[in-house]
Amino acid sequence: MMATNRQTRSPAFTLIEVLVIVVVIGILASVAVPVVSGAQTDARTSSANNTAYGVRAAIASFRHRAVIEGTDPFPTAVELATVGTVLDREIGENPWTGLSTIRSASLAEAQARTVVSEDTFGWAYHVNNASDPPIAIFYANCTNPTTRTNPATGTKFSANEL
Q: Going residue by residue through the chain (162 aa), what tens digit of pLDDT does each one get? A: 555 556 666 677 788 888 888 988 888 877 777 666 678 888 999 999 999 999 999 999 999 999 999 999 999 999 999 999 999 999 999 999 999 999 999 999 999 999 999 999 999 999 999 999 999 999 999 999 999 999 999 999 999 999
Q: What are phi and psi of 85, to 5 degrees?
A: -90, -55
Total length of the chain:
162
135 contacts 127 by C-beta, under 8 angstroms: yes
* Closest C-alpha to 80, from 38, 52, 115, 39: 52
pLDDT at 27: 85
